[in-house]
Chain A
Amino acid sequence: MDQILKERDRLLQRTARLYGLSFTVVSLLCLGIPQAVPTVTYAFVVPLYLILGFTFYRIGISRSPIWLALAIVCGTGIMVTVAVTSQDGLTQASFSAISQLGAGALGSLAVVLTSTVRRIIGLVLTFIVVASVTVIATTTWQSPLQTAALLMLGWLLPSIIGIWITASVPLAGRRIASIGRAHRAERQASELEAQRRQSARLLHDTVLATLTLLAHSGVGVAPEALRQQAADDARLLRQLRLGATPTPQSSGQYNLEPVEETVLGTTLESVKQRFGRMGLEVSWHGTGQVLLPSDVLDAFLLALAECLENVRRHSGVTEAHVTIVDDATTVRAMITDAGVGFTLDDVDSARLGFKESVVGRLKEVGGSARLFSAPGSGTTVVLEVPR
């Protein structure tokens, strides 16, 4: 709110500057009409006009009351000088110049004199001073009543501008603040929704695996199996979209329920089935029943599936062996194939996605992955996660 009040003051200041400067120019133009005032008068008023112009420029930037006072001194000074030096009485042009100053240029000060009680008191005093000087200076030319009416108009309009802007800004500020609150709720909701979708990681893992198969045009996989896989994944995504927490029973390989601990064995079996459908025979060895916290299990299964996917795609064999061993602190999986293998230095890590999807994911749960391979002698990956 403080910010917008500061902006409001700036807006009022700039308005006062424009207002004051434009009427000062008009007043000077009136005075510039031939025979408006005796030549000697110019020597006094032109510098005063210049100072007045500079003062209005400063009022546009600074809130200091010094500039307001200086403007009043200059403005009334010009009026008095013109009135005193015109021995033959005012001309039409000099009268216009004075009324432009009194009712127009100096009236602009009212724009910035409305925001606080002290400033309003200042406004009233200023008006009294300026009005008296103007009325006295022009009394030979026009009846005081008419001058007073013009001054009232000239000061009332900028006062209304000032009061109105002063009042409307907090109003707008409050409405903007309520929009801000709504926006914060919106942001939180958006954050939650993103979280919900991102936390459906296992779902996305299977979707990603299927999409990757499709990206290779589905070559090497039985069309029926791929269709089945696609149907399962599409169904899961639909459930996610409709706001449910998908519990994929039929494809079975991913457990999305927020359970604390899950038995490894049942999920391993479903991974095996999935790769079986895609033409990679996976043989399990070792422990079948290990309890793991669900986030660790997620990471473990993802890494395992990524490794098997790499075997399926790059090794050139259709069989892989997975050995699961566990001790008091760690669960370890060894994925071995007898395929073509590769030189570790040649591996295009971006293509394999090994670093991001396997190492990165395991690290998040405190695990690690190691890769052993040589051309012609197959590949072994060791995955470790804490229990």
Chain B
Amino acid sequence: MSFMRSNDNTLDVLVSGKRAPLALPNRQPAPRRGTLGTAFIGIGASLVVGIRAIYGFSWFIGQWNIYPNPVPELVAWILLIAVLVTAYIVARTVGDSLPDWMFVVFLAALALVIVLDFVAIWPLHDIGRHATASLAAAMSLLLVLTLRGTTELLIASGCAGLGIALAMAVNTSPDVDNIAPQLTSLAFAVLPVVIGVMLIRGFRRMVQIELDRVLIQSTVSAPRFAVGMLASEELARLDLAAEDLLDSVASGRTPLPLRPKTASIAASLATELRLHLIEGRRETWLYHAVTESEMLGRSVTVTDKGGLAGLLDANQRDGLLAATWLLVSDTAKGTAGRTVQIELGPIATERHPDAGRKLTVPILMSTTGVVRNRVDPSTWDAVRRVGRYSDSTHNSSLRVTIECFVDNPAEI
């Protein structure tokens, strides 16, 4: 996920699907930065940094007598503590993202801490064994983990690691006995930030996927044929455009007879309006769910000529959606190359003995890139809620046939 310097807040995320430019009715919202819950993660990261700092500080106290001149080291620690406290307070009050200048000040202060630490331990000629404040400072990047782009943090951490490594190379003799402590210190300085960055990326992705899933879940309760989230806006836009045009004709602003250009605008307006009024309401909840979802839109295709998906009740819909979701989203091996084709109908002509007065809608879910024994077990629970199923393997990918019993729309 790329980091976006936007002011997305929860509400923007919520309505971004709806506020998309009307000219592109099925446009997916731009990649969103999941901000839900990250503030809480930020507190956890601060806690981790705090504990690390306490550990480093106790080392500093422990080797107080070793320093040829402890003053730079003391200054480094005082500065580091001040930076940590300030950064914590700022991070709690600044909201969603740290302004650039604050980030630069933060980085500069940390760099100063590292330099002061090295000045204090330089005469000892063993950075790996004696560095304290610098290692804690390098890890302190985690304080702004949730407030800045992950790439920036990786670069900053890489620079810090490079600086420490260079200082070690210049200052410490590459003795067999000396290499291991240098390596250890370097790892403790850099790895926590890398792990933290990967964690927060995963967390944001998880939140985004869940948001996507929850938003399309609302299609489960939609009527048999629905218009989708953007249709009413689209209709409103067309009505308004028609109103403007008619108004300008009525008031004489647009002279009669119309110029060809205006006439063609009127013609296209009429066509679009007709399409929306007459041809509208032919898409089912499943179509809307797939087109509105970032996740499903990429890899799921629906073939449902008769609009039969609309006949499924809420529980069956929920099951079908969950099963599709599980087949597509199983991230163990990445979703690249995974596709699901859902085919509904035609309605079975002979009545199934178990079906009673209900109609039988056959559903075929054919997939590519989904291995039968890698499928999440809860997929089968979800499929079972849709109807009786049987599964097979076709071109080394899973294929599920479901017999789904639905109420006859003519009888209700």
A positions within 8 Å CB-CB of B: 2-4, 6-8, 10-11, 14-15, 18-19, 22-23, 26, 29-30, 33-36, 61, 91-93, 95-97, 99-100, 104, 149, 153, 156-157, 160-161, 164-165, 167-169, 171-173, 175-177, 179-180, 182-184, 186-188, 190-191, 193-195, 197-198, 201, 204, 207-208, 210-212, 214-219, 223, 226-228, 230-231, 233-234, 237-238, 240-241, 353, 356-357, 360-361
Contacts and interface: CB of A to CB of B under 8 A. Distances in A.
Nearest to B182: A96
Given A211-B266, A226-B249, A99 B274 contact: no
B198 A18 contact: yes
A22 B194 contact: yes
B273 A207 contact: yes
Contacts of B250: 227-228, 230-231, 234
Contact of B184 (A91, A96, A160): A96
23 contacts: A7-B210, A18-B198, A30-B183, A33-B176, A91-B177, A153-B51, A157-B51, A161-B48, A164-B44, A168-B37, A168-B40, A169-B206, A175-B36, A179-B215, A180-B214, A180-B217, A187-B218, A187-B219, A190-B228, A194-B235, A204-B273, A207-B242, A357-B278
B183 A8 contact: no
Interface stretch (B77-85, B255-263, B385-393, B400-408): B255-263
A218 B206 contact: no
Contacts of B48: 157, 160-161
Given A171-B40, A173-B210, A186 B18 contact: yes
Given A23-B187, A149-B55, A190-B229, A164 B41 contact: yes
Contact of B232 (A26, A30, A193, A228): A193
B207 interface: yes
A217 B257 contact: yes
A168 B37 CA distance: 6
B219 A92 contact: no
Instruction: Kindly name the residue among B198, B210, B277 whose own CB sees the greatest number of chain A CB atoms within 10 A.
Output: B210
Interface in B8-24: 10, 13-15, 18
Nearest to A104: B187
Interface in B299-333: 322, 325, 331-332
Given A186-B229, A198-B280, A360-B278, A214 B258 contact: yes
Nearest to A33: B179
Interface of B: 10, 13-15, 18, 36-37, 40-41, 43-44, 47-48, 51-52, 55, 58, 176-181, 183-184, 187, 191-192, 194-195, 198-199, 202-203, 206-207, 209-211, 213-215, 217-219, 221-223, 226-229, 231-233, 235-236, 239-240, 242-243, 245-247, 249-252, 256-260, 262-264, 266-267, 269-270, 273-274, 276-278, 280-281, 322, 325, 331-332, 376, 378
B213 A3 contact: yes
Contacts of A165: 41, 44, 199, 203
A187 B222 contact: yes
Contacts of A208: 270, 273-274, 277
B51 A210 contact: no
B277 A198 contact: yes
A237 B174 CA distance: 83
A209 to B, nearest CB: 9
Nearest to B18: A186
Contacts of B259: 217
A175 B207 CA distance: 10
A310 to B, nearest CB: 15
Q: Is the interface of A mostly helix, strand, loop or mixed?
A: helix
B118 to A, nearest CB: 21
Contacts of B18: 186, 190
Given A15-B202, A22-B191, A211-B242, A153 B270 contact: no
A7 B329 CA distance: 10
B55 to A, nearest CB: 5
Nearest to A7: B206
Contacts of A36: 180
A191 B36 contact: no
Given A191-B232, A211-B266, A61 B13 contact: no
Contacts of B251: 231
B114 to A, nearest CB: 20
Nearest to B255: A223
Contact of A226 (B180, B233, B256): B256
Nearest to A167: B40
Contacts of B51: 153, 156-157, 160
A26 B233 CA distance: 57
Contacts of A193: 232, 236
Contacts of A8: 206
Contacts of A171: 37, 40
Contacts of A195: 227
A188 B236 CA distance: 16
Contacts of B280: 194, 198
Contacts of B199: 11, 15, 161, 165
Contacts of A3: 210, 213, 322, 325
Given A15-B198, A93-B180, A226-B249, 11 more contacts: A33-B179, A61-B332, A92-B177, A160-B44, A172-B36, A191-B227, A194-B280, A204-B277, A214-B245, A230-B249, A360-B278
Contact of B218 (A14, A180, A212, A353): A180
Given A92-B180, A172-B37, A215-B264, A234 B214 contact: no
Nearest to A207: B242
Nearest to A198: B277
- Max chain A CB contacts within 10 Å: which of B40, B207, B250, B280? B250
Contacts of B41: 164-165, 168
A188 B266 CA distance: 31
A151 B209 CA distance: 36
A80 to B, nearest CB: 19
Q: Which of A165, A195, A208, A211 has the most CB of B within 10 A?
A: A211
A207 B202 CA distance: 52
A156 B47 CA distance: 11
A211 B273 contact: yes
Contacts of B192: 157
Contact of A217 (B47, B221, B242, B258): B258
Contact of A30 (B47, B180, B213, B258): B180
Given A15-B195, A187-B218, A197-B235, A210 B257 contact: no
Given A157-B48, A233-B246, A234-B250, A175 B203 contact: no
A240 B211 CA distance: 34
B174 to A, nearest CB: 10
A176 B36 contact: yes
Contact of B258 (A23, A190, A218, A360): A218
Contact of B239 (A6, A26, A61, A237): A237
A357 B270 CA distance: 13
